[in-house]
């Protein structure tokens, strides 16, 4: 792909206008806010930076890149997908990853991205989980992205969906949201440069968000799916 077409693909898939279902997920933020653990912009930023350093870098990124490198080998993608699914502790995090991955697959199947319809069939048959990072990884290869661009897309997607959820629940304003995204670029740089574990060794340590998602299962306030 040319630089321009890569940039255009990145703009399209990284745009909140691209339908991915991400609007419905807060990844623990709804409960953390309700419980008083996150009360403003500074805490939102700390939370997202923690997610990038202590989850995305060592958990999502290895699966993302392994699936990217597997490319059209959908059997290998399914193995990575299973590892990721099995390693995701909180039920709403696991189901959220599947629902977003499934939504992404359906849209890509609809726009004709190679492999998307075949992999979606595997998910519908129950032969694959459809976790977001695995799906995004092989779709990144199928749409002609490079590894650096794919990592930026994935990390930015996590950051922007969290900031957007925080804005919608009134934790910060639109200028704060953008300022946080600017400052988080350095965190993403650091996360991308960190050692890359094998898919069988993915690890994460974000206990507050995990517990919040577990508490969310029975919580009464449910604007979000997790």
Partner 1 sequence: MNDISSNAIPAQPRERPSTAARVGIGGPVGSGKTALLEQLIPRFLARGTDLAVITNDIATKEDAERVRRSGLIAPERVLAVETGACPHSAIREDPTLNMQSADDLDRRFPGLELILIESGGDNLASSFSLDLVDYWLFVIDVAGGDDIPRKRGLGVLSCDLLVINKTDLAPYVRVDLPRMVREANEVRKGKPVLLTNCAIGDGVDAVVEQIAREVLFDR
Residue 148 C-beta: closest distance to partner 1, Å = 27
Q: Which is nearer to partner 1, 48 or 65 (CB)?
A: 48
Nearer Cβ to partner 1 (65/135): 135
Spatial distance between the Cα atoms of 102 and 189, rounded to a whole number of angstroms: 28
Nearer residue to partner 1 within complex by CB, 152 or 165? 165
| Residue (19 or 173) nearer to partner 1, CB | 19
Helices (H), 88-126: 91-110, 116-125
- Whole-number minimum distance, CB 56 to partner 1, in Å? 20
CA-wise closest residue to 164 among 9, 56, 22:
22
Identify which of residues 167 and 196 has a Cβ nearer to partner 1 in the complex.
167
Yes or no: say if 179 and 173 are a contact pair by the CB < 8 Å rule: no
For 71-90, give one letter per residue: b (16+ CB within 10 A) or e.
beebebbbbbbbbbbebbeb
The C-alpha R_g of the chain, in whole angstroms, comes to 17
Please tell me the distance from the alpha carbon of residue 15 to that of residue 219, in angstroms, as a whole number: 31
CB of 125 to partner 1, least distance (A): 11
Residues binding partner 1 (CB under 8 A): 17, 19-26, 99, 102-103, 106-107, 124, 165, 168-169, 220-225
Instruction: Report in angstroms how near the CB of residue 142 gets to partner 1 at its nearest.
Output: 19
Q: Cβ of residue 189: shortest distance to partner 1, in angstroms? A: 28
């Amino acid at each position: 792909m040319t630089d321009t077409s890569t940039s255009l693909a990145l703009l399209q898939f990284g745009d909140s206008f691209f339908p991915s279902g991400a609007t419905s997920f807060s990844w623990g933020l709804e409960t953390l806010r309700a419980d008083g653990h996150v009360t403003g912009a500074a805490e939102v930023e700390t939370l997202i930076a923690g997610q990038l350093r202590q989850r995305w870098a060592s958990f999502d990124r290895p699966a993302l890149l392994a699936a990217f490198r597997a490319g059209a080998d959908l059997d290998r993608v399914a193995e990575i997908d299973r590892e990721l699914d099995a390693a995701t502790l909180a039920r709403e995090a696991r189901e959220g990853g599947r629902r977003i991955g499934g939504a992404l697959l359906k849209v890509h199947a609809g726009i004709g991205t190679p492999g998307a319809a075949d992999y979606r069939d595997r998910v519908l048959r129950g032969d694959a989980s459809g976790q977001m990072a695995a799906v995004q990884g092989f779709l990144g290869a199928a749409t002609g992205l490079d590894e650096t661009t794919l990592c930026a897309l994935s990390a930015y997607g996590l950051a922007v969906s969290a900031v957007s959820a925080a804005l919608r629940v009134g934790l910060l304003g639109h200028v704060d949201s953008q300022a946080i995204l600017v400052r988080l670029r350095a965190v993403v740089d650091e996360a991308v440069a960190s050692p890359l574990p094998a898919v069988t060794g993915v690890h994460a340590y974000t206990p507050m968000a995990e517990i919040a998602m577990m508490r969310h299962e029975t919580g009464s306030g449910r604007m979000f799916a997790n």
